[in-house]
Amino acid sequence: MFGLPYQGVATFLKSPLDAHRPFGFVGIPYDGSVTFRPGARLAPNAIRRASMMLTDGHHPEFATDPCERVTDLGDIDITQVAQHAALARIEEAVTALGQARPSCRLMMAGGDHLTTLGVLRALRRRFDQPLALIHFDAHCDTWARHFGDDIGHGTFLRNAIEEGVVDPTRTMSLGLRSPVDPVTREWLIGQGGLQMSSRQLMRTEGEALARHVRERIGDAPVYVTFDIDVLDPAHAPGTGTPEIGGITTMKALELLESLRHCNMVGMDVVEVSPPFDNHDVTALAAATLLWTWAAMLPL
């Protein structure tokens, strides 16, 4: 058997299903709260397919083979209709995974950004304290309402802070550049959080970001949420709400790798929309970020 990358079952990194490994890939195929272009519900399987390009050996920056560290735990079975019910289902599923695999760090593939709130709720309970949050995004996601609803993919960060799920003083939103009213734009800063624009982020070296993180977050359990639209549409065209002027994939990897010494308890990549992708370049960017995360962390 030749074992070519495109052969066989399309799991993430061609990893075994439901094995006991240090990292678990979980799909959250939900996009019921998108503002503009739909399709993020299709992202988990697109990211799995794209990850087949990454199965030929060790990561170039780390002496590890993520394919030997990851198991694919499948997708969360979820409704597309009721947002609150979807969040409850995500929280329930992530809680169950944490109980069954207490030493497994979960890497989530959304789905729109509302899905992150369900994950954070589960991890807040698991660690019995508000989490630190590193939030890569073109959008601040601190809107008070989502077109009349109390939750949506643009409210998740505000919801998480108001619920006590994350600690605002240990929250960093990085890569912001979208149109937004001043009250919404400044809300996180008013809660004690830190924001950096896309232009500031492009000028920030990885080690400088690591210093900022150490000073603000310390050893607290930290979750990394990576909205793919933090990347410029030239690097990630397949997303629901693209914004011109984003960071490059090279910069994203540099910044992510600089965080490898943080106490990271989970990560997601969200808002990939395969129907709007170009030759799977966005899905490959998402897969590479998750692959790098699994490669860089100590066991």
Q: What pLDDT, in 10s, does the model give residues 63-77?
A: 999 999 999 999 999
CA distance linking residue 247 with residue 5, whole number of Å: 29
Q: Using one digit for the tens of pLDDT, what is the confidence trace for 76-108?
A: 999 877 899 999 999 999 999 999 999 999 999
Q: Is 139 annotated to bind ligand?
A: yes
In 3D space, the residue among 252, 205, 264, 184 whose CA is nearest the CA of residue 195 turns out to be 184
Q: Taking 80 as the threshold, does the pLDDT of residue 274 lie above it?
A: yes
CA distance linking residue 294 with residue 283, whole number of Å: 17
Q: Taking 80 as the threshold, does the pLDDT of residue 3 lie above it?
A: no
Q: Categorize the per-residue pLDDT at 272 as very low, low, confident or very high, splitting at 50, 70 and 90.
A: very high
Q: Is 77 annotated to bind ligand?
A: no
Contacts of the segment 4-8: beta carbons below 8 A, 24+ positions apart: 5/52, 5/53, 5/55, 5/56, 6/52
Q: Output the pLDDT for position 145.
A: 78
Half-sphere exposure in the Cβ direction for 249 (13 Å, CA): 16
Q: Is 141 annotated to bind ligand?
A: yes
With tokens 């809300």, the residue in question is 187
Cis upstream peptide for 111 (omega within 30°):
yes
Q: Output the pLDDT for position 1.
A: 46
CA distance linking residue 240 with residue 250, whole number of Å: 22
Mean pLDDT for 8-32 is 95
Q: Taking 80 as the threshold, does the pLDDT of residue 5 lie above it?
A: no
Q: Taking 80 as the threshold, does the pLDDT of residue 14 lie above it?
A: yes
Of all residues in the chain, what percent carry a pLDDT higher than 70?
A: 99
Q: Is 181 annotated to bind ligand?
A: no
141 pairs with which residues across the strands? none
Of all residues in the chain, what percent carry a pLDDT higher than 90?
A: 89
CA distance linking residue 118 with residue 82, whole number of Å: 13
Q: Output the pLDDT for position 149.
A: 79
Mean pLDDT for 236-242 is 97
Q: Output the pLDDT for position 103.
A: 95
In 3D space, the residue among 147, 153, 119, 150 whose CA is nearest the CA of residue 240 turns out to be 153
Give the pair of three-digit tokens for residue 95: 């809680």
Distance in angstroms between the alpha carbons of the first and the last residue of the chain: 32
* CATH numbers and ranges of domains, the chain: 24-296 (3.40.800.10)
The residue type of 130 is P
Q: Output the pLDDT for position 265.
A: 98
- Does 113 or 151 have the greater pLDDT score? 113
Q: Taking 70 as the threshold, does the pLDDT of residue 234 lie above it?
A: yes
The DSSP call for residue 149 is B
Q: Is 227 annotated to bind ligand?
A: yes
Q: Is 150 annotated to bind ligand?
A: no
In 3D space, the residue among 167, 164, 94 whose CA is nearest the CA of residue 133 turns out to be 167
Contact 226, 177 (CB under 8 A): no
Q: Taking 60 as the threshold, does the pLDDT of residue 233 lie above it?
A: yes
Mean pLDDT for 178-194 is 96
Q: Output the pLDDT for position 7.
A: 79
Q: Taking 60 as the threshold, does the pLDDT of residue 2 lie above it?
A: no
